Amino acid sequence: MQRKQNSIKLSALFVLALLFLFMATAAAAAMADPSTSLTNIFAPQSTSAKSIFDLSLFVLVITGIIFVVVFTLLVYSIVKFRGKAVDAGREPAQVYGSTQIELAWTIIPILIVVVLFLATARVLHAVQDAPQPPGAIEVTAIGHQYWWEFRYPKLGIVTANELHIPVSDPANPTPTFLTLLSADTDHSFWIPELAGKTDLIPNHPNRMWMDPQRTGIFLGQCAQYCGVQHAKMLLRVSVDSPEDFATWVRAQQQLATQDEGVVAGRRIFETTACINCHTLRGTVANGQFGPDLTHLMSRATIASGAAQNTTDNLRIWIQSPDVIKPGSLMPAMKLSTADLDSVVSYMQTLR
């Protein structure tokens, strides 16, 4: 009997410890220094992410209170109303119910539901129906299996996988408004610290916005299963100061660099199947199937974040992409070593 009492206390203690561990981890995650995890939904850096974060705290407090109350009652009832040997054979009072209690625990939850609904509706309207201010940057994001195409229609820029947007000053906002499209299957654009996720669905344009409040690199990835390499469809957003952003825009607006030292590599590129899929603005290459490579070297990663943008990785990606991203739609180009060297040297001039 004593052992049974102890095992109850132990189990309640254990459950409480687990609960504490869970809440401590969640709290730690909530207060995490942004540089330790760059994808923490509790470290918002934009207005929309912040309003979602504030709502989430409200919801967490209410659900936390409900949990503590019900859990305490549950543990109390198990401990207090445990059957003892001395009572064997006698049944407790056979209570069928209580209308007042039923009313109480119906009406209070309904009120909680109404409050949570109203709080949510307010945030939904603020985020989804926000008007586009005149200073907004417009980006069209097109999802592909397994990379991101980014177009800035008003600026004449086409790039891939790594997005540059300006930081937004609350006094003079310059948010980025994205139109989300897809060329094939469903994808989802998710940068946790900048916004809730929105899907890219073919034949169903979507719209979202981000107004980052500080500069830096923000990470994310595709959140809707889109095929074999869904896991490696990574996102990298560089939030720049207005000056840096203007510099980046000007550089991206230039045509592809024509470096005389790598003419051999350029010739190979332009006479091989490369140009069927890739665009280099200002050259004959105008393929639409794969990423625009005009300013490839302005990007820190290749293959939508699957590898760092280094000489070795470029060689591997061109020659045997399955080593980096098996199942991606980049074909193995099967170039000779000399041709491969030339092409990679050429690619590395495309700043």
The single residue among 45, 47, 159, 229 that binds other proteins, judged by CB under 8 A, is 229
Q: What are the E-state strand segments in 205-316?
A: 206-210, 216-221, 234-240, 301-302, 307-308
Residue 210 CB, shortest distance to other proteins, in Å, is 13
**C-alpha to C-alpha distance for 123 and 40, rounded to whole angstroms:** 20
254 vs 308, which CB is nearer to other proteins?
A: 308
50 vs 315, which CB is nearer to other proteins?
A: 50
**C-alpha to C-alpha distance for 245 and 243, rounded to whole angstroms:** 5
Residue 128 CB, shortest distance to other proteins, in Å, is 4
Position 170: which residue type? P
**C-alpha to C-alpha distance for 305 and 230, rounded to whole angstroms:** 12
190 vs 245, which CB is nearer to other proteins?
A: 190
Sign of CA dihedral 315, 319, 320, 324: positive
Backbone φ/ψ region at 304: left (φ over 0), alpha (ψ -120 to 50), beta: left
72 vs 254, which CB is nearer to other proteins?
A: 72
What is the x/- site pattern for other proteins, positions 168-197, by CB under 8 A?
A: ------------x-x-xxx-x-x-x--xxx
Q: Does 20 bind other proteins (CB under 8 A)?
A: no
1 vs 171, which CB is nearer to other proteins?
A: 1
Q: Does 227 bind other proteins (CB under 8 A)?
A: yes
C-beta separation of 137 from 174 below 8 A:
yes
| Residues of this chain, 275-314, that bind other proteins according to CB under 8 A | 305
94 vs 336, which CB is nearer to other proteins?
A: 94
Residue 148 CB, shortest distance to other proteins, in Å, is 15
The single residue among 221, 279, 294, 313 that binds other proteins, judged by CB under 8 A, is 221
CA 276 to chain CA centroid, nearest Å: 31
| Residues of this chain, 249-278, that bind other proteins according to CB under 8 A | none
The single residue among 13, 16, 61, 63 that binds other proteins, judged by CB under 8 A, is 63
Q: Does a cis peptide bond (omega within 30 degrees of 0) precede residue 346? A: no
Q: Does 82 bind other proteins (CB under 8 A)?
A: yes
197 vs 267, which CB is nearer to other proteins?
A: 197
C-beta separation of 167 from 175 below 8 A:
no
41 vs 136, which CB is nearer to other proteins?
A: 41
Q: Which residues contact 269 (CB under 8 A, 6 or more apart)?
A: 275, 280, 285, 343, 346, 347
| Residues of this chain, 87-146, that bind other proteins according to CB under 8 A | 87, 90-98, 101-102, 105-106, 109-110, 113, 116-117, 119-121, 123-125, 127-129, 145
Distances (CA, A) of 284 to 251, 273, 294, 311: 20, 12, 12, 24
Measuring CA to CA, which residue among 270, 277, 269 is closest to residue 341?
269
| Residues of this chain, 192-211, that bind other proteins according to CB under 8 A | 192, 195-199, 201-204, 206-207
What is the x/- site pattern for other proteins, positions 326-345, by CB under 8 A?
A: xx------------------
The single residue among 6, 9, 16, 77 that binds other proteins, judged by CB under 8 A, is 77
**C-alpha to C-alpha distance for 46 and 210, rounded to whole angstroms:** 7
**Residue 20: exposure state from Cβ atoms within 10 A (0-12, 13-18, ≥19):** exposed
